[in-house]
Structure 1
Amino acid sequence: MTDVPARARGRRPPAGDPVVDRALSLLFAFDAAHPTLTLSELSRRSDIPPSSALRLANRLLAWGVLERDTSGRFAIGLRLFEVASLAQRGHGLREVALPYLGDLAEATHQHVLLAVRDGDEAVLVERFSGHDAIPVLYRVGGRLPLHSTGVGLILLAFADPEFQESYLARPLRREPEHAVIPAAELRRTLADARRERAVTLRRLVPEAAISVACPVHGPGDAVVAALSVIVPEGWPDPRSLIPALRTSARAISRALGAP
């Protein structure tokens, strides 16, 4: 989850409207592991006193940004989903890419992913999955590490050099396996991805799988997204998927205004 600036209890934040900051703190208390929260959980995870959390939650309920079930637990409301779906980097890209993702899904009957970079993570904006595709940990709207996913490696490989150096300076582990990734090994992987304009990554969790990914370009030929197919271990020659991925990525790129 994206880091939220720390706020000391009882003190005004250094910038911005404190009511807005607190409302956003409530919303950011939800994540994939906590899709519903009691008032006490909401208060604890947002670091807002229960009385203030209840007042803010009631206002958000009135706007449809939050919902509350019969047991009293809070959840993100459909109104917020409606607004979030308008995010240009997600919605516009997704609308352009959908037919090509559908074609890849129909051809492979596996997982097809489309992701963008947001800070030091990738965000999944669309996923097509075949009925017999193996289990994966990815969900639409979920965040993925750049250094240990196929789409993430593509987005990291084509990020600006200053960002790359800052990212590579960290101790990095392949998640969720928790295996250390030597910086030299990761640099070679990124260089290969830039040269080949594709990457192939083998994963072991939750089941052995191989991700094959390619970049999607936008205006000015900047890489704006990554497209991938995830196939099970034992798939005959996963690299044979690269031409189809490149073809789809080029078609999406042209539709987005890439030269």
Structure 2
Amino acid sequence: MRVPGGLPEAGARALSATRTAGGKLLAVLGSFSRERSALTLSEISRLVGVPLSTAHRLVGELCAWGALERADDGRYRIGLRIWELGALAPRGLGLREAALPFMEDLYEVTHENVQLAVRDDVEVVFVERFAARDAVAVLTQVGGRFALPPTGVGLVLLAHAPADVQERVLAGPLRRYTPHTVTDPLQLRRVLAEVRRTGVAVSDRQVTTDAVSVAAPIEVRGSVVAALSIVVRGSSPAAVRAMTPGVRAAARGISRALSAG
């Protein structure tokens, strides 16, 4: 039997036997995801690969500390204590605080999707986002993850990532989201070179067939730490041409704010 989203159940239980007590607590927290935001005790037991009695003890410790909360329906959810700790992450809170004024200005001028993201290994993590009700729909959300290559922010972050990260991504597989998604490694390598040359990245309908984005890097002391983008409804790169200077200027402003902090 396969544990949802994980190892076969027997394998999960064998792995569990080698974990430390702390490792088992972390595994319980790791069983939650955006798709599995609420879990029963039995589900946690299966996902972590521990007996129900062990899961009950671990969940009890996490609830007592505030890492988990038990809802009226009996299912468990991530507690506020985790949110408080997450807010201390320097790539989240400090970056977000520095970026918000610039993002708000960009949003007020355009009333389009304005997104802030960082790289975590070979994925994009979205830190903040502004969007008007009638802006083009996007697949991203705050706290969510996405593949690097198709998105504007992802292209910026990948173009400036260490060589080993780039090579792992280029080695694929590169997922196709639309007919416009770049899935050829050689073509993607050329795109990344162009991003480094021009200082901006344009994603032309690579994630959805009606959205185009332009992104620029946010730098601290010469290192790219994040990326800022605008996503608009469009059918070609021309859709974001007029917004490119504003995205560049906002990204430079955030870079200066972070460097001065």
TM-score, with normalisation over the residues of structure 2? Answer: 0.88
- How many residue pairs align between the two structures? 250
Structure 2 residue aligned with 1:40: 42
Structure 2 residue aligned with 1:8: 14
Structure 1 residue aligned with 2:232: 231
Structure 2 residue aligned with 1:27: 29
* 1:99 lines up with 2:101 in the alignment: yes
Whole-angstrom CA distance in 1 between matches of 2:103 and 2:22: 37
Structure 2 residue aligned with 1:165: 167
Whole-angstrom CA distance in 1 between matches of 2:71 and 2:241: 47
SS of 1:89's equivalent in the other structure is: coil
Structure 1 residue aligned with 2:257: 255
- Residues 150, 207 of structure 2: 8 Å contact kept: no
- Residues 177, 205 of structure 1: 8 Å contact kept: no
- Residue ranges of structure 1 left out of the alignment (5+ in a row): none
SS of 2:14's equivalent in the other structure is: coil
Whole-angstrom CA distance in 2 between matches of 1:178 and 1:31: 29
The offset of 1:204, in angstroms, is 6.2
The offset of 1:48, in angstroms, is 2.3
Shift in alpha-carbon separation, 1:48–1:169, aligned structure 2, 3 A: same
Paired letter, 1:226? A
- Residues 44, 55 of structure 2: 8 Å contact kept: yes
Between 145-154 and 42-51, the greater mean CA deviation after superposition: 42-51
Whole-angstrom CA distance in 1 between matches of 2:97 and 2:194: 30
Whole-angstrom CA distance in 2 between matches of 1:129 and 1:89: 22
Structure 2 residue aligned with 1:119: 121
User: What is the identity percentage for the equivalent residue pairs of Structure 1 and Structure 2?
Assistant: 48
Cα-to-partner distance string for 1:89-146 (whole Å, 9 max, x where unaligned):
1111111011001111111111111111111111111111112112222111111111
Whole-angstrom CA distance in 1 between matches of 2:117 and 2:181: 23
Paired letter, 1:82? E
Whole-angstrom CA distance in 1 between matches of 2:180 and 2:235: 23
State the Cα RMSD in Å.
2.3
Cα-to-partner distance string for 1:209-244 (whole Å, 9 max, x where unaligned):
11111111012x110001001101258631221100
